[in-house]
Amino acid sequence: MKINLVIDNPNSWFNAPAVKLKKSLTSMGNICLIVNDPRKIKPKSDITFFLSCEQYITPKTRNKSLHNIVVHASNLPKGKGMSPTTWQILEGENTIPLTLFEVADKIDAGDYYLKASFRLNGSELIAEWQEKLAQNIFQLIFKFVKNFKKLPAKKQTEKTTYYPRRTISDSALDPHKTIAEQFNLLRVVDNEKYPAYFIFKKNKYIIKIYKDQKKWMNS
Q: Are residues 129 and 105 in the same domain?
A: yes
For 139, phi then psi, to 5°, come to -60, -40
Domain shared by 117 and 43, yes or no: yes
- Tell me the pLDDT tens digit for each residue of 127-136: 999 999 999 9
The overall average pLDDT reported for the chain is 96
Does residue 83 sit in the same domain as residue 112? yes
Same structural domain, 22 and 80: yes
| pLDDT tens track for 67-102 | 999 999 999 999 999 999 999 999 999 999 999 999
CB distance 130 to 96 below 8 Å: no
Same domain, 51 and 138: yes
Convert the chain into a string of H (helix), E (strand) and C (coil): CEEEEEECCCCCCCHHHHHHHHHHHHHCCCEEEEECCHHHCCCCEEEEEEEECCCCCCHHHHCCEEEEEEEECCCCCCCEECCHHHHHHHCCCCEEEEEEEECCCCCCCCCEEEEEEEECCCCCCHHHHHHHHHHHHHHHHHHHHHHHHHCCCECCCCCCCEECCCCHHHHECCCCCCCHHHHHHHHHCECCCECEEEEECCEEEEECCCCCCCCCCCC
Q: What is the mean pLDDT of residues 23-30?
A: 97
Q: Is there a single domain that holds both residue 27 and residue 120?
A: yes
Q: Are residues 39 and 78 in the same domain?
A: yes
Confidence band for 12, pLDDT divided at 50, 70 and 90: very high
pLDDT exceeds 50 at position 219: no
Q: Would residue 213 count as lying in a domain?
A: no
Q: Tell me the whole-structure pTM to 2 decimals.
A: 0.94
On whether both 113 and 149 belong to a single domain, the answer is: yes
Structural domain count, the chain: 2
Q: Per-residue confidence at 218, pLDDT binned at 50, 70, 90? A: low
Identify whether residues 188 and 119 lie together within a single domain: no
In a domain, 61, yes or no: yes
Residues 2-7: what's their mean pLDDT?
Answer: 98
- Whole-angstrom Cα distance, residue 61 to residue 99? 22
CATH number for position 68: 3.40.50.170
Domain, as residue range, for 52: 2-163
Among 163, 183, 199, residue at a domain's last position:
163
Establish if 214 belongs to a structural domain.
Answer: no
- C-alpha gyration radius of the chain: 19
Q: Do 54 and 72 sit in the same domain of this protein?
A: yes
